[in-house]
Every structure is written in C-alpha cells, then in structure tokens.
Structure 1
Amino acid sequence: MNEFLYHELLMEEYRRAKLAEAKQHRLISLVSEKKFTRGVYWILSRVGVTLESWGCKMQERYDEIVACEQSDLLQGLTNNVTNSPA
C-alpha cells in the first residue's frame, strides 16, 4: 500500500473519531446545561413563592395596624374639630 494513501486513510479515521467525540461532548454539554438551567429556574421559582408568601403575610399584619392607626387619627381629628373653639 502506498505510504501516502495509508497516511491519508489514517488521518481520515482520526478526523472521524474526533468529530464523533466532539458531537458526543456537545450533546452531553447540552443535557448538562439544561439540567443546570432547570435547577436554577426551580430554585428561583421557590424563592419567588417564598417571597410572595412573606409579602402577603406582612401585608395582612400591617394592613390591620394601618387601619387601626387611620381610625385613631380620624377619631383624633374628629375630636379636635368638635372640641376646638369656634
């Protein structure tokens, strides 16, 4: 067999092996990236749900306080108006 032909066939086989390896690596990296992305989205989703829950609880708690303060302020204003000398 011609030395040049043998070398060319060997290089072609090497190139095919490297292309197959690159394809496999690319597919593995795509799957790994999707798993990582799904994990990050899941974590961010859980953080969002937790923050929303805390926000609702705080709003319920402080709405009562604000309502009490506003009613006290209104009572104070009406008392000042009725008790003020005219």
Structure 2
Amino acid sequence: LKYPDMFAASSLMLINKIDLAPVLDFDLAKTVEYARRVNPNIEVLTVSARTGEGFEAFFAWIRKRMAATASNAMTAAE
C-alpha cells in the first residue's frame, strides 16, 4: 500500500474512474482490504465522473460531515 500514513489519517477513501475497473487490471476488493489493514474504520466510496455513478453517496457523506462539524461548533460555542 502506497502512502500508508495518508490512509491511516483519512476517514474516507474515494475511488474515482470506477467505470474503468472492468477493463483495467484493478481489484477493488483488494484495494479496500489493503486500506483497511492500515485503517479499519475508513469509509470507501466509488465514483465515476464520466457516468455520475456514486456521486449521490459522496454528496451525502459530505452533508453528513458538514452537519457533524456544525453541531460540534455550536456545542463548543455554548
């Protein structure tokens, strides 16, 4: 796994160009397995900028994180 420190510190692994996976020598399951060896809690989302696949889940992840950050900021301000 290249850059293990980056994976250890990340909460999300976003894999783009997933539409190319069937024609390339890319093993999604192995990729996720290796990332989770370093960070068992990392969330994994796949997207395709070409087809739009997966973006709704990615946007939902962003909204969830923004809401949690706003909630934490409000609690800290009180």
Structure with greater strand share of residues: 2
Greater fraction of residues in helix: 1
TM over 0.5: no
The interval holding the TM-score normalised by the smaller chain is: 0.3 to 0.5
For normalisation by structure 2, the TM-score amounts to 0.34
Structure with max Cα Rg: 1
- Report the TM-score when normalising by structure 1: 0.31
